[in-house]
Amino acid sequence: MRKNSKLLWAAVDRYFGDLLAPHDEALNAAIRANRDARLPAIDVTPLQGKFLHVLVQITQARRILEIGTLGGYSTIWMARALHKGGRIVSLEFEPRHAEIARANLRCAGMLRRVDIRVGHALASLAELKRSGAGPFDLIFIDADKENNPQYLKWALKLSRRGTVIVVDNVARHGTVIDAKSKESDIVGTRRCLEMMAAEPRLSAAALQTVGMKGLDGFAIAVVLR
Ligand code: SAH
Ligand code: DHB
Ligand code: MG
């Protein structure tokens, strides 16, 4: 039963994805480069990338902040939805990931729209605030989950009324419901969700996603004031 439903999720994901999020040569090349470089295969799926792309269009975002670049696959999807003059700041800890992401973005013709900052995201976020960056229109949190509570705090500091904050991987195959878990990523995800619930400046929801990467989900929030 469980095995069958996973196959079904993947098949439906493929059907939707082929229709609504078909890959062109640049997206294929980015995924190929990421796998060839042995980056962890934790890029968003094509449909999740398209979802982010549509979200950029809905919000008409011009300034996007991404925490967790990896090979820039999600970055390409978002960058392609930007209006002229729109920019993404993407934060990445691993210099090697950032280099691969730059190459992928260059290949997709999107590098000019993206500023990849290498370092611990918590340091980069403090530096962004110090230098007067922001407010951002859309913030995508997708790095080390144990720091999600701090990333959410920084996201609020770099926001305005109407900013949309998206947090990736909030369901983690359902492990998120384990209130006793001592795993740092689950603890971080749960604390982040609790903060979203308790924060009067945020209105938040979360949606499970199923598909070729199993069960996961996004949390999404809008800054009210
Ligand atoms: N958004 C990407 C996937 C990001 S994977 C996509 O969907 O295509 C998570 C990334 O966060 C990894 O590249 C990892 O190196 C990076 N990361 C982990 N801890 C970090 C930290 N403290 N600061 C910045 N980046 C971090
Ligand atoms: C995993 C998936 C992700 O999208 C991510 O950002 C981190 C980890 C995972 O499946 O382990
Ligand atoms: Mg993710």
Instruction: Classify the C-alpha dihedral 165-175-48-9 as positive or negative.
Output: negative
Q: Whose CA is nearest to atom 10 of ligand 2?
A: 42
Burial of 125 (0-12, 13-18, 19+ CB in 10 A): buried
Which residues form the domain of 131?
A: 1-223
CATH number at residue 66: 3.40.50.150
pLDDT of 73: 99
Structure confidence at residue 2 (pLDDT): 62
pLDDT at 79: 99
What is the amino acid identity at position 137? D
Does ligand 2 have an atom closer than 6 angstroms to the CB of 42?
A: yes
Tokens of residue 130, six digits: 């110090």
The pLDDT of residue 187 is 98
- Counting ligand 2 atoms within 8 A of each CB, the residue from 31, 34, 42 with the most, and so the one to mutate, is 42
Atom of ligand 1 nearest to the CA of 66: 1
Give the span between the Cα atoms of 161 and 194, in whole angstroms: 21
Task: Give me ligand 2 centre to Cα 12, in Å.
Answer: 21
pLDDT of residue 185: 98
Please report the pLDDT score of residue 92 as a whole number: 99
Give me the pLDDT at residue 157, please. Answer: 98
The confidence score (pLDDT) of residue 36 equals 98
Q: Taking the model in full, what pTM does it have?
A: 0.98
pLDDT in tens, the chain (225 residues): 566 899 999 999 999 999 999 999 999 999 999 999 999 999 999 999 999 999 999 999 999 999 999 999 999 999 999 999 999 999 999 999 999 999 999 999 999 999 999 999 999 999 999 999 999 999 999 999 999 999 999 999 999 999 999 999 999 999 999 999 999 999 999 999 999 999 999 999 999 999 999 999 999 999 999
Nearest CA to ligand 2 atom 9: 42
The alpha carbon of 143 and the centre of ligand 2 are apart by a number of angstroms equal to 8
Centre of ligand 3 to C-alpha 52, Å, is 12
**How distant, in Å, are the alpha carbons of 62, 81, 102, 117, 187 from that of 85?**
7, 11, 19, 19, 38
Say yes or no: CB of residue 212 within 6 Å of ligand 2: no
Q: What are phi and psi of 204, to 5 degrees?
A: -130, 155
Q: Answer yes or no: are the C-beta atoms of 90 and 44 closer than 8 Å.
A: no
Considering its fold, how many domains does the chain have in total? 1
Residue of the CA atom closest to atom 17 of ligand 1: 143
Handedness of CA 114, 117, 120, 124 (dihedral sign): negative
Ligand 2 in reach of 43 Cβ (< 6 A): no
- Interval between CA 174 and ligand 3 midpoint (Å): 15
